[in-house]
Amino acid sequence: MLAAIALIPSAPVLVPELAGAAAAEVADLRAAVLAAAAVLPARWIAVGAGPEDANIGAHSVGTFAGYGVDVPVRLAPEATGPVTELPLCALMAGWVRAQVAPEAVVDVCAYRAEHGADTALACGRALRAEIDASDQPVGVLVVADGCNTLTASAPGGFDPAAAAVQDALDDALAAGDAAALADLPAQVVGRVAYQVLAGLCAPAAADQLYRGAPYGVGYFAGTWRP
């Protein structure tokens, strides 16, 4: 059964070893991310975007070495397999798990970023059916960013239309408006993950813990309750 959903960005800067001097600048975001994930039960399923569809089991081990520092990541406390290349959503899920619930286990469902809305919504409904078939409480961790074109120094450059798109996304996440997520435009980097979320759940309650764009990328942290 679906117990809770936590929403966090896929931001490597949250990892202090990667952030360096910038770690203090994102302390409030990091605190919000960890608070969101803390509502999840002992079994997690992480949802995010990737280069291709992939189901990544809790036995997996990865590293942030590709982001500058060899920070190891495990998806379960007993995971001891060889280090493999994991998508960023899986790395972030494993890192957050270790911070807030070291005994938790997380499986990762990565979805190809190019999926259309109908496919993403169908994936969300299928994931919900899988979760509902479990007699154990399951938490979902959605790892996704908003627009990456909010300032001149943003990774995607500056798009003057992006601010309105980001505001609408943040409002939808804060309100638990699954219908609005189904119509997200391509400017939203984590569109496919948010549309899987829309297919997964129309929440009874939603809580915003953080919204902002400290580096020109839209970040949201919060929770949904089914």
pLDDT digits 0-9 by tens, 27-54: 999 999 999 999 999 999 999 999 999 9
HEC assignment per residue over 86-105: CCHHHHHHHHHHHHHCCCCE
* φ/ψ (deg, to 5) at 55: -105, 115
Distance CA 225, CA 110 (A): 22
Count of Cβ atoms closer than 10 Å to residue 8 Cβ = 30
Is the CB of residue 142 less than 8 Å from the CB of residue 214?
no
Distance CA 93, CA 48 (A): 9
User: What is the distance, to the nearest Å, from the Cα of residue 12 to the centroid of all Cα atoms in its chain?
Assistant: 12
Q: In the CATH scheme, what is the code of domain 2-225?
A: 3.40.830.10
Q: What is the pLDDT of residue 136?
A: 95
When pLDDT is averaged across residues 79-99 and rounded to a whole number, the result is: 95
Strand partners, 196: none
Q: What is the pLDDT of residue 21?
A: 81
Coil, helix or strand at residue 138: strand
Which CB contacts under 8 angstroms, 24+ apart, belong to 98-101? 98/73, 98/74, 99/34, 99/37, 100/34, 100/37, 100/38, 101/37, 101/38, 101/40, 101/42, 101/44
147: CB partners within 8 A, 6+ apart: 156, 159, 162, 165, 166, 169, 187, 188, 189, 213, 217, 218
Coil, helix or strand at residue 155: coil
When pLDDT is averaged across residues 96-100 and rounded to a whole number, the result is: 98
Query: Residue 80 above 90 pLDDT?
Result: no
Task: Summarize pLDDT for 154-183 with one digit per residue, the tens.
Answer: 999 999 999 999 999 999 999 999 999 999
Q: What is the pLDDT of residue 45?
A: 99
Query: Residue 15 above 90 pLDDT?
Result: yes
- pLDDT mean across residues, the chain: 97
Q: What is the pLDDT of residue 1?
A: 96
Query: Residue 106 above 90 pLDDT?
Result: yes
When pLDDT is averaged across residues 126-151 and rounded to a whole number, the result is: 98
Count of Cβ atoms closer than 10 Å to residue 102 Cβ = 10
Strand partners, 188: 147
Q: What is the pLDDT of residue 81?
A: 80
When pLDDT is averaged across residues 81-89 and rounded to a whole number, the result is: 93
Band of pLDDT at residue 20, cut at 50, 70 and 90:
confident
The token pair at 99 is 């911070």
When pLDDT is averaged across residues 124-149 and rounded to a whole number, the result is: 98
Q: Where are the domains of the chain?
A: 2-225
Query: Residue 149 above 90 pLDDT?
Result: yes
